[in-house]
Amino acid sequence: MAALHPGDPQLVPMIVSHLKTEGLFDQLRRDCLADVDTKPAYLHLRQRVDNFVSNHLANHTWSPQLNKNLLRNSIRQLVLQSGMLEQGVDRIVAQVVDPKVHHSFRPQVERVVRKFLSPNGHIEEDELPPVAPPLPILTVKTPHQRSTN
């Protein structure tokens, strides 16, 4: 570890691999998924997709010859093309992930990274340097969002 310097292109993949090995990514994913289905953005998206599918299916008459796989794939493509998933997921992330970034996720990630970067890999919690002030959250807008805003 001592041979790597800040800015070394190998450092980030090594840290990410270490975070995964420590199980931190799985823990963060579980934390987010635990309450996602209670958030208004998720409930709204689910209702929009349900309505979209119901309206589409109302235009089809069931028969034994109906190719259900073809119909399912057609609906999937229409939902994807509508852009509702992209917008809905962005809102879900804003409601579920964003509030946890600075208060929960960042301190956990920083603790694991500091231990990883320490010379012997075993650093006591009281020996850890103070956490840097939070960085601003950067928002990247997709082409679809740019055209609607």
Q: Which of 88, 87, 99 is nearest to 42 (CA)?
A: 88
What is the pLDDT, as a whole number, of residue 146? 45
Q: What is the pLDDT along the chain (149 residues), one digit of tens a residue?
A: 546 777 788 888 998 999 999 999 899 999 999 989 999 999 999 999 999 999 999 998 889 898 999 999 999 999 999 999 999 999 999 999 999 998 899 999 998 888 888 877 555 555 554 544 444 444 445 444 444 44
- Global pTM value: 0.64
Q: Where are the domains of the chain?
A: 11-148
Q: Are 49 and 79 in contact (CB under 8 A)?
A: yes
For residue 38, give the nearest of 101, 95, 100 by alpha carbon.
95
